[in-house]
Structure 1
Amino acid sequence: MALQTHHEEMQPAALGELERETSALDKHGYLFGQKITHSLSPFLHQVIYENLGLRWGQVRLDSCDMQLFLRLVRHPDFYGASVTMPNKVAILPHLDRMTDECRSVGACNTLFLQPDPADPSGQRRLLCGANTDVIGIRDSFLRNVADPARVYHGKPALVIGGGGAARSAIYALARWMRAADIYLVNRDAAEVADMMRDCAARGYGDGLVHVATEEQARELPAAGAIVACVPDFEPRTEEEKLARCITEIFLSKQPQPQQDQEGGEGGRGGDMAPRTKGAMLEMCYNPTPFTALGALAERHDWQVILGTEALIWQGLEQDRYWTGRPVEDLPVDKVKEAIAASVAQRSQSRL
């Protein structure tokens, strides 16, 4: 269940409930944010812990009360937390250390602990922040696209949206996916301008292009990778309709001719068949990952990667921090099966 607190102090009854839930575990963590009732994060991590034989659990803490949270993380059995909106930026001043990704993106979605080297007793633990959202985006492409060199390396990329997920997408595309330029499409021009300034200030703003008109979109080269970071709503306002039109122009473009550097067709084998166009990661998965935008991309012969892939790979990276085990030693297949079953059940319940 989700424990809710939107006031300065959690009510005594809620604190007692929290203590009962965490005391039943050897170690506990939190999902710290708001509007988290339907989040799959606790379920994902529970699958991992059960398969590893760990009596651990992640408890939902529906709150933006930072002082309460900072008290809770001092518990000796606390192992870490998933941090979601609106706390991803608010937590930054309270961190002792940050990973490069966390610092560069300017948002933290993962808390983990390290011993304080300045404390010889080993009792004090440092509160460290990571951003595994960028890893989830990167690995969604790397583990699902048969031939990255042919599909998106050295080509422009497209990011749809303007929030925190869009910033993580820009970082992943710029740092790891060899994007030539990154097109930005969003209903809110001011939000795009803010995002471009922020990315530039943080050192990964080169090559960002705000695509604001249909004419501009038609003149630009085709993209090889797309990350869609918008809710699954039918466009209603003129700005939303324009953004969708621009997106469809990019989806309809034929890929640029590219010399085959590998020789032959296909990629790394397996069940990842080569596609005519590029690959699109549809980040939206709630209430279902099968979105209208994803269907539109498939009609234009794009490979669509479901948002649950980003959820899975960022979550596995979180448990790498928390358990100390490499991702390869975690029950990846069990997680994929469980998430797929949960999504299917949710989709069925909406019919």
Structure 2
Amino acid sequence: MASFPQSSTSPAEEPITSPSHLDRISYLYGHPLRNSLSPLLHKTIFDTLGLNWAQIPLSVSSSSSPSSSSYSYTRSPPIQTFLAHIRSDPKFIGASVTMPWKVSITSHLDSLTEDAQRVGACNTIFIREEKGRRVFMGTNTDCVGIREALLQNAPGGGVGYYCDKPALIIGGGGTARAAVYALRRWLRCSHIYVVNRDRAEVEALMAEDRERSLLSKDEHKAELIPVTEPAQVAALKPPAAIVSGIPNYPPKTSEEINTRRVIEAFLNHPSEKKGAILEMCYHPAPWTEIAELAANSGWKVVLGTEAMIWQGLEQSRLWTGRDVVQVPGLVQRVKDAISAAVAERARAEKP
């Protein structure tokens, strides 16, 4: 693998590249980006469409040597520096936004879609032409990825499997927020259990949700219900869908051990019918401890790469103006490329 030099200058001093040989440019904006498959995903889409476009990452950890791009990686520039560049670059067509910028960038854009407003975070920038000027829009396609991953893998087929049934979210961060929105708006779940090791994160999630609900006109209100003890689970209706958004590591602290027991109680709920679990963690390998527990308990496991692919397809739809999902063979090519990359990583991680 080639190595990528790290600049010794401050983030504000590092130039953002705009290679002359490309017709259009997308950026991946965040830090660190060592494990991101986004540039590969979009390269596959652009190549399939015959476009001389590319996505350029703007940050990666200093220990990384990624092979999916030939561009130098820099530290993640400040929002003002990033926005000044993309507003002045006629080649810019959009960006994927990841941590730590998903929330803070929202106030710097011209407008936000309903999805971004309701989730409370922006993971995608795209341009809308209005009266001869470029309007820089923010949206959230993470919720689209969650929606499509669950709908296309529903054990009973389609949204009807999840409608008016409970759901479970494991975690309390950005993935949890996108999942709440997707489970409410599109899957029409009756209520949503929340399990997380950090109760403060759950309280923050619920407080934000109450605030947004006051401003929302959506009449479908799936209540958020925190579940903190394994003994609570048997008395609850079983979830039809689970979205797990936590890292894959063995529980060590008392809070982590208790959370794992709550998760296991849900997975082994006495109900005979098991639903689908979307395991959002896919690095270093998509088959996690939770995925293994779920499969052994009879759940249909949907890998996180599915959600990542579908959110990326939605991003490219916004950037290209084309319904990329309808292009013959494109979705399968993307799935094959991501699957091969994940398999290669898994082999590299083995001792």
How far did 1:151 drift? 4.0
Change in 2 beyond 3 A, CA 1:177/1:255? farther
SS of 1:23's partner is coil
Measured in 2, the distance between the counterparts of 1:200 and 1:255 equals 31
Measured in 2, the distance between the counterparts of 1:86 and 1:5 equals 21
Measured in 2, the distance between the counterparts of 1:104 and 1:22 equals 35
Instruction: Decide whether the 8 Å contact of 2:150 with 2:278 is kept in 1.
Output: yes
Instruction: Decide whether the 8 Å contact of 1:32 with 1:60 is kept in 2.
Output: yes
Change in 2 beyond 3 A, CA 1:339/1:158? same
Measured in 2, the distance between the counterparts of 1:6 and 1:239 equals 41
How far did 1:230 drift? 0.1
TM-score (norm 1): 0.87
Measured in 1, the distance between the counterparts of 2:55 and 2:120 equals 24
Which residue of structure 2 lines up, in the alignment, with residue 67 of structure 1?
80
How far did 1:255 drift? 3.4
Does residue 25 in structure 1 map to residue 39 in structure 2?
Answer: no
**CA-atom RMSD, angstroms?**
1.8
Measured in 2, the distance between the counterparts of 1:294 and 1:132 equals 24
The amino acid that maps onto 1:200 is R
Match of 1:40 among 37, 40, 59: 37
Residue segments in structure 2 that go unaligned for 5+ positions in a row: 60-75
In the comparison of the two structures, how many residue pairs are matched? 321
Which residue of structure 2 lines up, in the alignment, with residue 264 of structure 1?
none
TM-score (norm 2): 0.87
Measured in 2, the distance between the counterparts of 1:4 and 1:238 equals 41
Measured in 2, the distance between the counterparts of 1:283 and 1:57 equals 25
Match of 2:110 among 81, 91, 96: 96
SS of 2:12's partner is coil
Does residue 190 in structure 1 map to residue 200 in structure 2?
Answer: yes
How far did 1:199 drift? 1.1
Instruction: Decide whether the 8 Å contact of 2:155 with 2:276 is kept in 1.
Output: no
Measured in 1, the distance between the counterparts of 2:10 and 2:338 equals 33
Which residue of structure 1 lines up, in the alignment, with residue 304 of structure 2?
307
Does residue 7 in structure 1 map to residue 10 in structure 2?
Answer: yes
Does residue 218 in structure 1 map to residue 234 in structure 2?
Answer: yes
Instruction: Decide whether the 8 Å contact of 1:284 with 1:291 is kept in 2.
Output: yes
SS of 1:73's partner is helix
Measured in 2, the distance between the counterparts of 1:154 and 1:116 equals 40
SS of 1:34's partner is coil
SS of 2:27's partner is strand
After superposition, where does 1:1-351 map in structure 2 within 5 Å?
Answer: 7=10, 9-11=12-14, 15=15, 18-19=16-17, 22-62=19-59, 63-74=76-87, 75-117=89-131, 122=132, 124-147=133-156, 148=158, 151-203=161-213, 206-255=222-271, 276-330=273-327, 331-351=330-350
SS of 1:158's partner is strand
Measured in 2, the distance between the counterparts of 1:315 and 1:155 equals 28
Instruction: Decide whether the 8 Å contact of 1:34 with 1:64 is kept in 2.
Output: no
Measured in 2, the distance between the counterparts of 1:338 and 1:149 equals 28
Measured in 2, the distance between the counterparts of 1:210 and 1:327 equals 38
Measured in 2, the distance between the counterparts of 1:4 and 1:314 equals 31
Change in 2 beyond 3 A, CA 1:196/1:43? same
Instruction: Decide whether the 8 Å contact of 1:288 with 1:346 is kept in 2.
Output: yes
Instruction: Decide whether the 8 Å contact of 1:5 with 1:65 is kept in 2.
Output: no
Measured in 1, the distance between the counterparts of 2:222 and 2:135 equals 34
Residue segments in structure 1 that go unaligned for 5+ positions in a row: 257-275
